[in-house]
Amino acid sequence: MNYAVTGATGNLGSRIVKELVKLVGVEDVFALVHTLSKAEKLREQGISVREADYSDVNNMATALQGIDLLIYVPSKTYDVLQRVVELENTLSAMKTSKVKKVIFVSFFADQESNPFTMSPYYGYAPRRLAGLDLDYAIVKNSLYADPLVPYLPELIERKNIIYPIGYEKLSFITLDDSAEALARLAIQPHLRDNGQIYLLSQEKNYSMVELGRVMSEVTGKDIGYQPVTLDEFVEIYKGDGDGKELASMYQGGALGMLSEVTTDFEKITGHAPMGMEQFLQKNSKR
């Protein structure tokens, strides 16, 4: 059996490819990428690379020829309709190329009343997959812990976490753990062929006061919690191009919608995920 991963040069996709190669060998892993010139490192490892343009059904169908299982990592766009079109194009290409198995990588901000910009897309996908003649599973990631590492210097300077979520808690998972779970799920048919839905998280969620304490312990600097308003958050990060979208996500967090914790990671992998303190200690410098 072989496996294809979309977004294979991205932060998550590249890690999934790496984990799959460990499990099944390089000959059974196909890296699907939007820009071939970015895939040289994958080629150097002996991994088969194929161009996969979400906007082009014929291109996607060619990329999926002979593939048994697709791990679909969506693009990063905040355009809901574009994401839906990309998914539909991929589903059409799968039908043309007779790919019958898919693992859809999702996000846990998918509740019907969640104000997050991309919530409609994450709500749409499972309903769409449920109506198709496919063997599938859906894996919802919680918040990635990884961006907290480069964020630490700013938090140290501010002396506070500023996420506008009040007293609610946030749940996290590391990119490495997410990739491991997705790769291991791919090779376990009984866990991924019957519409199963998983949520990957660490064993504990954190209030911002608790997260600040962990960060303080790891960095040796005092980091507290002083939330800004949603409008202030948008203004602070508008220069990054996604301030409004991130604010909408934390608006959902303030409603308690980003706090769920499960044991799904351990169910899939057989061991516990890396905890926040261990992750920050491993990846940050005092």
pLDDT more than 90, % of the chain: 97
Cα torsion 199, 205, 208, 210 to 10°: value is: -160
Q: Please state the rounded mean pLDDT for residues 251-268.
A: 99
Whether the predicted model's global pTM rises above the 0.85 cut: yes
Per residue in 200-244, pLDDT (tens digit) is: 999 999 999 999 999 999 999 999 999 999 999 999 998 888 899
275 token code pair: 């905890």
pLDDT band at 286 (very low <50, low <70, confident <90, very high): low
Q: Please state the rounded mean pLDDT for residues 253-261.
A: 99
Integer angstrom CA distances of residue 116 from 14, 18, 153:
26, 31, 27
Query: Between these two residues, 15 and 284, which has the higher pLDDT value?
Result: 15
Average pLDDT, the chain: 97
User: Between β-strands 169-170 and 206-207, what pairing exists: parallel, antiparallel or unpaired?
Assistant: antiparallel
pLDDT band at 285 (very low <50, low <70, confident <90, very high): confident
Domain 3-142+173-201+261-273: state its class.
alpha beta
Q: Please state the rounded mean pLDDT for residues 13-22.
A: 98
- Please enumerate, as own/partner, the contacts of 233-242 that have beta carbons within 8 Å and a separation of 24 or more: 233/162, 233/163, 233/164, 236/162, 242/78
pLDDT in the model for residue 178: 99
Q: How far apart are CA 5 and CA 279, in angstroms?
A: 26
- DSSP for 115-140, written as a single string: --TTHHHHHHHHHHHHTSS-EEEEEE
Longest dimension (CA), the chain: 57
pLDDT in the model for residue 48: 98
Q: Is the pLDDT of residue 119 over 70?
A: yes
Q: Enumerate the domain spans of the chain.
A: 3-142+173-201+261-273
pLDDT in the model for residue 22: 98
Q: Is the pLDDT of residue 120 over 80?
A: yes
Going through the chain in order, the beta strands assigned E by DSSP cover 3-5, 29-33, 48-51, 69-72, 101-107, 135-141, 143-144, 160-161, 169-170, 172-173, 196-200, 206-207, 224-225
